[in-house]
Chains A and B, each alone.
Chain A
Amino acid sequence: MISSPPGGTAPEHSRALDPELLSLPLRECAAAALEAAQAAGASHADVRIERLRGQDLALRNGRLERLGDDVTVGLAVRVVADGTWGFTSSPDVAVDEAVRLARSAVEVARASRPLNREPVELADEPVHDDVTWVSAYDVDPFTVPSADKVALFADWSQRLLASDDVDHVDVSLQQALEGKFYADTAGTTTTQSRIRVQPKVTATRVDPGGGFETMRTLALPVGRGWEYLTGDLYDWDAELAQLPSLLVEKAKASSVEPGRYDLVLDPSNLWLTIHESVGHATELDRALGYEAAYAGTSFATLDRLGTLQYGSPVMQVTGDRTTPHGLATTGWDDEGVQTQQWDIVRDGVLVGYQLDRRMARQNAAALGVSRSNGCAYADSPSHVPVQRMANVSLQPAADGPSTEELIGGVERGIYVVGDKSWSIDMQRYNFQFTGQRFYEIRGGRLVGQLRDVAYQATTTDFWGSLEAVGGPQTYALGGAFNCGKAQPGQIAAVSHGCPTSLFRGVQVLNTAREGGR
């Protein structure tokens, strides 16, 4: 499991910007678009030119199912004209196309003006003149021959299939190289590259009499390169060796008796609960209602900033886009704002939101700040930047307990490891999560796995039941590639760090009984 101290600074590294991105006519297109937009009457304009490379690889029972490699290149122009947004985009990165897009964006803004009652104004931000940033990794996964990847995963598959307790093995790896160039009429110009990988291994055991059970590895996506698959950052050999016996134990485990249990949540499970119940709930665009028709709103409304008791006093949550190897980590956001770290929940009280420039300006008085904290992001040149999630992380206690000590303090409970099913309502109140492994705790000791477990709670009740967070030795970074939001739909990769944590008296369901079985 990857661990990294929260709030650290990115290590020194010497990775270069994506040369394919740099080979595009970045500055010529940006200059032409910005000039054309201003000439057409835009009060603000920004240009993004992106080159996104992705590779998706999957093996089914040790044989290659798919191997696809995709490159997306495009140019996007966003303007404010007559106080209204206008956005256009094209796959053609050329000067004449940049000019056409800029003029068209102003036309789109003016055509939309009759529908707009709230003039767009952006928070002032320092100008960053021609700055660059590259994420930290050792081995660019796109330089590794596909044959090597297929051979590695075929070997993993065969190791698992050699067990009598495993009938099927699915291995997948998603890899992304994200190159972005940004320029705006204020004078900021940024060029950045990020790399990330997401490996998954799932073993399935089929009961000849009917029914089946699955178990997935706990490795989570991360802002690293191929070294995550072959280096000493994650002990793949150990987990693959354990997976068959863990799977058969789960398949034969007792079905949980529903009721209230103390839960010890491993970071491999808790990261997703943080994502849904804290990360999304503290996005200011949700709190303001901009996502009311789609992703939803938030119970954590702006009028409750500084007073909402989100959780118990041991709950300390930060937002950042600076954590080393974090999936939302970058140097500057898609509005040219330098990234940073800030408090979201302090001593259990809501104290901060995730912002972009427009919301920061519009709500400066209520927020008590007049600057963005750098959360604007677009997942492709085809999409407009919206406020997206930072790495939202629960902080460990400086001298906090180990996982074993947390388990030792539980008389009757469940230790939940790994994420699986997740769902939360459109105001971020009611949620339900499952996991990969559920260990029954009796008298402070693990006594074996349970099955059919889901926990269900209301966000503030759940975080109010947080009795203890583990120490830094239990802290780990989880995350996802596929956080969805906005219309047209966008996805974003984001990390969440957390320590092992103890929650008292959480409602546990039996999923088999929920299904009427």
Chain B
Amino acid sequence: MSTGRPDGGHDVVERVLALSRADGCIVLVEQSSRANLRWAGSTLTTNGAVRGRSVVVISVVGESVGVRSATVVDDLEDLVRASEAAAREAGPAEDAGPLVEGGAAADFADGAVETPPDVFSGFARELGAAFGAARGDGLALYGYASHDTTTLWLGSSTGLRLRHVQPTGYVELTGKSSGGSSWVGQHTRDWTDVDVAHLDAEVRRRLAWGARRLELPAGRYETLLPPSAVADLLAYAYWTASGRSAAEGRTVFSAPGGATRVGEHLAPAGLRMTSDPTDPALATTPFVATTASSAMSSVFDNGLPLPRTDWLRDGALTALVQTRASAARTDSPVTPYVHSLDVDGGGTASTDQMVASTERGLLLTCLWYIREVDPQTLLLTGLTRDGVYLVEDGEVVGAVNNFRWNESPVDLLGRVTEVGRSVPSLPREWSDGFTWVRMPTLRVPDFNMSSVSQAS
């Protein structure tokens, strides 16, 4: 029977480390609880209250590593032995190195934090009211609300005892009417900052813009990319920023002869792209916690503190993602991946103010189905979604058709002519996996709308 339940994650960590016979051992224990609501056509479709758990044992034998994960905790010895056997079978790991050393955090022995059972009670009441109002006004509301609380404990045979609690909530609201489709979304830590009436009002404001429908052909347009769209584009650039791969000549950040583009000006002067796990508004795990090595991560780095890192500073590329192993190989600073992104160009204009200063251009809502077309230039393709608006003489004059676009976020950064005020944002496409971002609206003079999409 698999009925074992941990007294606490710290207890599981200690039990695993006591069982370990490997040269080195890292344990990651996660306990999560998640609640969600989903709706379509102004009525509930699905919901859920879900608990999760994982125990990851990383055994190091010589230069080899074995990783075993499980959700059950009553057969920890089997898990530890399997991890050790895997390490003995695997052969040398290419990123092998000493484990991170450290001590115990003060909160290590604290228990798991759970998502409150009434997390959606106020939100659900307000949502029900919005449903009723929508029905009366001929609108239909669609969307999703999710709140997850994950407690992570990390321990190692080198003394590390770390704990982190990550609350992650977000809501997306889509409205549909004869005026088309509109969308708003935001992330949240505790739902005290979620105002359904405000979200609903913004959805309705945009649907009203769609009362006048216009058709525009494919082509290059001056375009205002709102924060959600910027987040989805720059997330792709960030996920491609492996220092090792760049030095191997196989990313957009590569330069001839085994060099990288670090130092090159890619964006307007004054633009900064940063990851900071201690930023109160974008707080994420402040130390490396990874279960697999890749071009962007190394299991040997588990527990390594994550400093604030500027990836772009004053428009210049200042760092790529480097593990300790790749940093040593490329003679670069250690700059591990952080699970948040903050872009700021010092702009103060809101999106509405940027609309007001636009003679003629397109205002987008968000982007969708973004995929890599050409890794050499990081050319991406995707769609506009939930509202493309024509701006003339400083005002939105109507909604236009959707487009398929082809653009490289790296190339695009170099063509930006205005950077708006940075605000907390939710990527439309990557909302669930890359929730913690702060982004500005960007003005691009010649965004490539490759063809017209009939989707509405």
- Which residues in chain A, 187-227, are within 8 Å of chain B measured between CB atoms? 204, 206-214
**A443 interface residue (CB < 8 Å to B):** no
Contact of A293 among B124, B172, B250 (CB under 8 A): B172
Minimum CB–CB distance for B334 against chain A, Å: 19
A351: Cβ under 8 A from any B Cβ? no
**Quick check: B86 and A69 within 8 Å, CB to CB?**
yes
A84 at the interface (CB under 8 A from B): yes
- A368 close to chain B: CB less than 8 A: no
**Bound Cα distance from A74 to B3, whole angstroms:** 10
How far, in angstroms, from A516 to B50 measured CA to CA in the complex? Answer: 47
In chain B, residues 382-408, which have Cβ atoms closer than 8 Å to a Cβ of chain A? Answer: 382-383, 385, 402, 404, 406-408
Supposing A69-B69, A212-B249, A293-B40 touch, asked if A488 and B372 sit within 8 A by C-beta, the answer is: no
Which chain A residues numbered 450 to 487 have a C-beta less than 8 Å away from chain B? 452, 454, 456, 458, 487
B350 within 8 A of A: no
Contact with A along B83-126 (1 / 0, CB 8 A): 00010011111110000000000000000000000000000100
Closest approach, in angstroms, between the C-beta of A56 and any C-beta of chain B? 7
**Closest Cβ–Cβ distance, residue B78 to chain A (whole Å):** 10
Name the segment of B19-27, B190-198, B286-294, B341-349 touching the other chain: B286-294
Stretch touching chain B among A4-12, A143-151, A230-238, A305-313: A143-151
| Interface pair B67/A69, CB less than 8 Å apart | yes
| Most chain A CB inside 10 Å of its own CB: which residue of B34, B65, B377, B408 | B377
Q: Quick check: A108 and B49 within 8 Å, CB to CB?
A: yes
* A84 with B44, Cβ < 8 A, contacts A66-B294, A516-B448 known: yes
For residue A397, which residues in chain B have a CB less than 8 angstroms away from its CB? none
* CB pair B5 A92 closer than 8 Å: yes
Q: Is the CB of A488 within 8 A of B432?
A: yes
Cα A68 to Cα B66 in complex, Å, equals 7
The A-contacting residues of B in range 31-64, CB under 8 angstroms, are 34, 36-53
Among the listed A90, A116, A430, A514, which residue makes an inter-chain contact with B51, where contact means beta carbons less than 8 Å apart? A90
* Alpha-carbon separation in the docked complex, A298 to B124 (Å): 28
Q: Closest Cβ of chain B: how far from A177's Cβ, in Å?
A: 14
Which of A63, A72, A213, A425 is close to B453, meaning CB atoms less than 8 Å apart? A425
Instruction: Please tell me which one of the listed residues B69, B183, B291, B402 contacts residue A425 in the complex, with CB atoms under 8 A apart.
Output: B402
Residues of B within 8 Å of A, CB-based: how many?
Answer: 99
Query: A444 to nearest B CB, angstroms?
Result: 30
Residue of B nearest to A516 (CB): B411
Specify which chain A residues have a CB less than 8 angstroms from the CB of B417 in the assembled complex: none
User: Inside 8 A of A117's CB, which chain B residues have their CB?
Assistant: 42-43, 131
In the complex, residue of chain B having the shortest beta-carbon distance to the beta carbon of A51: B2
Closest to A294 in B: B144
Judge whether A91 and B94 touch: CB under 8 Å: no
Q: Do A289 and B72 contact each other (CB < 8 Å), given the known contacts A116-B44, A384-B46? A: no
Across-interface contacts of B254 in A (CB, < 8 A)? 206, 210, 212
Q: Collect the chain A residues with CB atoms within 8 Å of residue B173's CB.
A: 293
Contact indicator A63/B92 (Cβ below 8 Å): yes
Give complex CA distance A41, B96 in Å.
56
**Quick check: is B373 within 8 A (CB to CB) of the other chain?**
yes
Q: Is A328 located at the chain interface by the 8 A CB criterion? A: no
State whether the Cβ of A421 lies closer than 8 Å to any Cβ in chain B. Answer: yes
Report the separation of the CA atoms of residues A208 and B2 in the bound assembly, to the nearest whole angstrom.
55
Shortest beta-carbon distance from A96 to chain B in Å: 8
- Please measure, in the bound complex, the distance between the C-alpha atom of A109 and the C-alpha atom of B380, giving whole angstroms: 42
Q: Within the assembled complex, what's the spacing in Å between the Cα atoms of A291 and B144?
A: 10
B248 sits at the interface (CB 8 A): yes
User: Could you tell me the distance between the alpha carbons of A425 and B367 in the complex, rounded to whole angstroms?
Assistant: 10
B180 to chain A, nearest CB (A): 12
Q: Is B374 an interface residue (CB 8 A)?
A: yes
How far apart are B4's CB and chain A's nearest CB, in angstroms?
Answer: 8
Question: B408 touching A430 by the CB < 8 A rule?
Answer: no
B71 touches A115 (CB 8 A): no
Q: Judging by beta carbons under 8 Å apart, are A89 and B50 in contact?
A: yes
* Chain B residues with CB below 8 A from A512, complex form: 374, 377
Given the complex of chains A and B, what is the CA–CA distance between A384 and B267 in angstroms? 44
Residue of A nearest to B70 (CB): A71
Chain A residues with CB under 8 A of B370: 423
In the complex, whether A432 has a CB less than 8 A from a CB of chain B is yes
Query: With A112-B47, A115-B127, A212-B250 in contact, is A517–B377 under 8 Å at CB?
Result: yes
A514 touches B373 (CB 8 A): yes
A104 within 8 A of B: yes
Partner of B47, one of A58, A68, A108, A516: A108
How far does the alpha carbon of A148 sit from the alpha carbon of B266 in the complex, in Å?
A: 45
Which residues of chain B have C-beta atoms less than 8 A from A383's C-beta?
48, 50
Beta-carbon nearest neighbor of A93 in chain B:
B2
B50: A residues at CB distance < 8 A: 87-90, 382-383
Contact (Cβ within 8 A) B371 A91: no
Which of chain B's residues has its CB closest to A67's CB? B90
- Quick one: which of A380-397 are within 8 Å of B by CB? 382-384, 386
A66 to B448, CA, bound (A): 38
Chain A: CB-nearest residue to B145: A487
> Once bound together, how far apart are the Cα atoms of A114 and B368, in whole Å?
32
Evaluate whether A384 and B48 lie within 8 angstroms (CB atoms) in the complex, with A293-B142, A421-B373, A422-B371 already known.
yes
Q: Quick one: CB contact mask for A152-184 with B, threshold 8 Å, 1 for yes?
A: 000000000000000110000000000000000
Tell me, rounded to whole Å, the shortest Cβ–Cβ distance linking B5 to chain A.
6
Q: Which listed residue, A168, A214, A425, A514, touches B455 by the CB 8 Å rule? A: A425
The residues of A that contact B41 with a CB separation of less than 8 Å are: 289, 292
B94, B124, B452, B453: the one within 8 Å of A64 (CB): B94
Q: Let me know if A133 is at the binding interface, CB within 8 A.
A: no
Task: Say whether, besides A212-B250, A429-B454, A514-B448, A114 and B124 are in contact (CB < 8 Å).
Answer: yes
Bound state CA distance, A429 and B39, in angstroms? Answer: 24
Q: Contact at A515–B451, with CB atoms within 8 Å?
A: no
Q: Which residues of A contact B455 (CB under 8 A)?
A: 296, 425-427, 429-430
Instruction: Scan A46-76; emit 1 where CB is below 8 A from any B CB, else 0.
Output: 0000000000101011011111111111100
Could you tell me the distance in whole angstroms from the C-beta of A271 to the nearest C-beta in chain B? 16
How distant is A13 from chain B, measured CB to nearest CB, in Å?
28
Give the CA-CA distance A500 to B383 in the complex, in Å: 29
Q: Which residues of A contact B94 (CB under 8 A)?
A: 60-61, 63-65
Residue of B nearest to A422 (CB): B371
- Shortest distance from the beta carbon of B11 to any chain A beta carbon, whole Å: 16
Query: A34 to nearest B CB, angstroms?
Result: 18
Complex Cα gap A382–B146 (Å): 14
B52 CB contact (under 8 Å) in A61, A88, A382? A382
Tell whether B280 is near chain A: CB-to-CB under 8 Å.
no
Q: Is B318 an interface residue (CB 8 A)?
A: no
B38 in contact with A167 (CB, 8 Å)? no
Instruction: Establish whether residues A87 and B69, one from each chain, have CB atoms under 8 Å apart when the complex forms.
Output: no
Q: Which residue of B lies closest to A460 (CB)?
A: B454
Which residues of chain A come closer than 8 Å to B183, judged between CB atoms? 293
- Do residues A456 and B3 form an inter-chain contact, with CB atoms below 8 A? no
A488 touches B91 (CB 8 A): no
A210–B39 CB distance below 8 A: no
Write the chain A residue with the least CB distance to B31. Answer: A91
Q: B381 on the interface (CB 8 Å rule)?
A: yes
- CB interface residues, A 85-103, toward B, < 8 Å: 85-94, 97
Closest-by-CB residue of A relative to B32 is A382
Which residues of A line the B interface, CB within 8 A? 24-25, 56, 58, 60-61, 63-74, 84-94, 97, 104-105, 108-109, 111-112, 114-118, 145-147, 150, 167-168, 204, 206-214, 289-294, 296, 299, 382-384, 386, 421-427, 429-430, 432, 434, 452, 454, 456, 458, 487-489, 507, 509, 511-512, 514-517
A24-B2, A116-B43, A515-B377 known; 4 new pairs, CB 8 Å cut-off, are A421-B373, A430-B383, A434-B373, A488-B432
Top 3 A-B pairs, shortest CB-CB distance: A293-B142, A206-B249, A94-B3
14 A-B pairs within 8 Å (CB atoms) are namely A25-B1, A69-B67, A85-B45, A97-B3, A112-B37, A114-B124, A115-B131, A147-B89, A293-B142, A427-B455, A432-B373, A432-B450, A456-B404, A509-B450
